[in-house]
Amino acid sequence: MRKIYVFTIFAALLPQLLEAQQAWNRIVNLPQENAINDIARIPGTEIIVAVGEGSTVMISENLGESWDVNCNPAGLNNFAILKSVIFTDALLGFITTADGQILRTTDGGSQWSVVHTTSPESSLNDIHFFNANHGIVCGDNGLILKTGNGGDDWITLFSGVSSHLKEIRFVTDQKGVILTSSTDYLLTTIDGGNTWATPAFNPPLEITQMLSFDFVNETTGYLYGNHSDMMGMIYKTVDGGNTWQLSFQADAMYTGKIAFSDPQMGMVLYGSHMYESKIYYTLDGGSNWTPATLPEYSMWTDRALFFYDPVTAFAAGSKGLIFRTEDHGISWSPLYEKVFKGSIVQVQFINESTGYITFLNELFGVIFWEIHKTIDGGVTWQAVSSIELFEFPPAFHFPDESHGYIVSGWSIATLWKTDDGGSTWETVGIADSFTPMEVKFFSSQMGFVAGQNKVYKTINAGENWQNVYTGSDNYFRILYQSADDIIIIGEYSLILSDDGGLSWTERGISNATPVTDAFMKDDGKIFIAFGEAIYWSDHQGINWNQAALNNSNPVEFRSIFFSSPDVGYTAGSGHYETMLKTIDGGFTWNAIEVPATTTLTGIWFQNNLHGFVFGEKGLALETFTGGVVGIEEIVRTNEIFPGFIYPNPFSDNFTIDVGDAWNGQPVILEVYDPAGRLIIQRSITSQQQQITFAAPGKGLYFYRLLNENRSGKMKKLIRQ
């Protein structure tokens, strides 16, 4: 269940609150949105660990009711895929990855390190340990690795095959089996994995795709696969795999896993043709199989199936979906919360309470676009009714609480409009042979729709539309300075009008990649984000200046937003950083930490402290601290300028000591309040200089020293 945090911030307590609370609170998805690939229990404890895509590790101590979500173990990047996890005792655990790495923890999962790296093209799909020292890993292209010293060193064993190796099961320390991508054989060993054989199925199995298998003892095992017509089949062996007999078959079993908790009790998790995930369970060793359905949204929950104990099991899969049963598969409970069932593409808040959002709904495989509304500041969201959007991503705009407009269509543009806050909608045609990409109203009557090669205008609330411009770009962002002064941004150009759209001037934007977002501040400065760069212009696009980016790793920008003339945010996709912040009006941008690896697609701030960021897979985060805990996290620079302030804490005056860095050239002192606003900027003209603090208020501030070559790290400054 989502936790709601309400903050009443008093001036005297603001610094302490900013230091204590988290920078970002995850709203949805809960526990997280990345696909889960494997789950394991830490021996001797009640702790379970799940791993998955997006470099994600999840740990729960209460059977999945709540999770600690940690990203980027061992410094892996945001795109790392964690394939399997195992713990040999309460402290020692291992993770394998899709790019050929093995991670190890020696403290129960708090810290991880890379202990082996093989070819990035060789996914390491499963791992098994006999004891704390001896383990086996299998991967793509017939790869088998073995360690005899607790993972310090790994040697490559000869498998004799080139097929992908998917799952490992050992029934004793010596006898083991590996499931392969071939339907002709299993890999077997009788010497602890040192040598492997490929006994063929005799007679051949009828399946055309091997999916999963499990052994309950030396003689009894189960193998799950399907036929080319998606007929799911479960085979059983009672002689250690020498022969296999068909135990069960059913239609529409596309993918999934099989697992047993003991010789009698087991289940198969599968994805069906209705884009749901379902269960068959058995209580009599596979003689009979009974269907069960995962409740609510379960699309592709077919990657992980894990028994915690004989009757408690977990099923998990894409988009972070996870379920639990406590009655050996008869009934299931969802352990996730999901509001937006796909990537979020647009957000707009009209005021602190009322906002709208658009996302791609992939429920049950029927892909369509939904628009949701909140009237409680983003705490809850409800679908806007009477609108079905199955085509090109819609765009919307609400000039006020009552009036709203939505445009959509592929080659035929349609407008939906409301004058009662979205309760009822009226449909109006705009134009044929036109794909709209943006709608923006200056008032409830006058507005523009921009899109593929064309711009249309209305002066009667969308009842009639006139084509006012035809060009050769995809125009996707409409920016107003006034009812007459309009700038429309395209992927490679902009057009501007100073007479309400009667005439237009086109200007090219010199960039090799398309513009992805644009924002115009109240002072008229235009900011555009494209590729890994941010540019700004204060001359209506005649000249462009590149902003300085202080991020260690590139970010592919998708969204840009300013909460005030000085403070702005931009976000997107990156191997490590995904969001940057500016506190100097957009001239310099610094990376800030976001507790998610998912691509960020939308930003909206109510003020400099309270805001939201949205992303792919339905991700939504909220901040009450401007996205940082202490401004010192904002600044990352390679060349640090020394110097310090004393006394600190101070009352009304303090002294700047530049120290040995003083070379006679001026040094700049900058002091910021907790919201990131620059409140003091002073030139220091001597090695030591006293400053009178003229700004009102006591508490926590931040300062830095810089000259033309070097910038100091943000440090705390306390006024008492």
The secondary structure of 97-127 as a DSSP string is ETTSEEEEESSSSSS-EEEEE--TTS-EEEE
Task: Find all residues with CB under 8 Å of 10, minimum gap 6, and list them.
Answer: none
Q: 9 to each of 17, 21, 416, 665, 717, how far by Cα in Å?
A: 8, 12, 40, 41, 20
For the beta carbon of residue 546, count every other beta carbon within 10 angstroms.
9
Q: What is the 3-state secondary structure (H, E, C) of 486-550?
A: EEEEECCEEEEECCCCCCCEEEECCCCCCEEEEEECCCCCEEEEECCEEEEECCCCCCCEECEEE
Look at residue 517 in the predicted model and tell me its pLDDT: 98
Task: Find all residues with CB under 8 Å of 283, minimum gap 6, and list them.
Answer: 264, 265, 290, 328
Cα–Cα distance between 327 and 310 in angstroms, integer? Answer: 9
**Coil, strand or helix at 59:** strand
Share above pLDDT 90 across residues of the chain, in percent, rounded to a whole number: 74
Tell me the two tokens of residue 201. 């199925």
Model confidence band, residue 709 (pLDDT cutoffs 50, 70, 90): low
Contact 555, 515 (CB under 8 A): no
Section 175-195 average pLDDT:
96
Contact 538, 547 (CB under 8 A): no
Contact 642, 659 (CB under 8 A): yes
Section 605-629 average pLDDT:
92
Task: Find all residues with CB under 8 Å of 642, minimum gap 6, and list them.
Answer: 658, 659, 660, 661, 705, 712
Model confidence band, residue 700 (pLDDT cutoffs 50, 70, 90): confident
Look at residue 366 in the predicted model and tell me its pLDDT: 62
Look at residue 676 in the predicted model and tell me its pLDDT: 65
User: What tens digit of pLDDT does each residue of 81-104 get?
Assistant: 999 999 999 999 999 999 999 999
Which ranges of 106-236 does DSSP label H, i.e. alpha helix? none
Model confidence band, residue 9 (pLDDT cutoffs 50, 70, 90): very low
Model confidence band, residue 658 (pLDDT cutoffs 50, 70, 90): confident
Residue 338 has pLDDT above 70, yes or no: yes
User: What tens digit of pLDDT does each residue of 269-293 get?
Assistant: 999 877 789 999 999 999 999 999 9
Q: Smallest Cα–Cα separation from 679: which of 700, 658, 665, 661?
A: 700
User: What tens digit of pLDDT does each residue of 225-259 get?
Assistant: 999 878 999 999 999 999 999 999 999 999 999 99
Question: Which secondary structure element, helix H or strand E, spans residue 20, and what is its range?
Answer: helix 14-20
Residue 11 has pLDDT above 70, yes or no: no
Considering Cα of 510, then 511, then 512, then 517, what sign does the dihedral take? negative
This prediction's pTM: 0.85
Q: If you average pLDDT over every residue of the chain, what do you get?
A: 90
Residue 584 falls in which region: left (phi positive, over 0), alpha (psi -120 to 50) or beta: alpha
Residue 27 has pLDDT above 60, yes or no: yes
Residue 10 has pLDDT above 90, yes or no: no
DSSP secondary structure code for residue 142 in this structure: G
User: What tens digit of pLDDT does each residue of 453-501 get?
Assistant: 999 999 999 999 999 999 999 999 999 999 999 999 999 999 999 999 9
Strands 548-550 and 588-591: parallel
Look at residue 270 in the predicted model and tell me its pLDDT: 96
Q: Smallest Cα–Cα separation from 138: which of 117, 118, 153, 123?
A: 123
Question: Which secondary structure element, helix H or strand E, spans residue 671, and what is its range?
Answer: strand 667-672
For 276-422, strand residue ranges (E) read 277-282, 290-293, 304-307, 313-316, 322-325, 333-334, 344-349, 355-361, 368-374, 382-383, 395-397, 404-408, 412-418
Q: Smallest Cα–Cα separation from 558: which of 580, 586, 590, 536?
A: 580
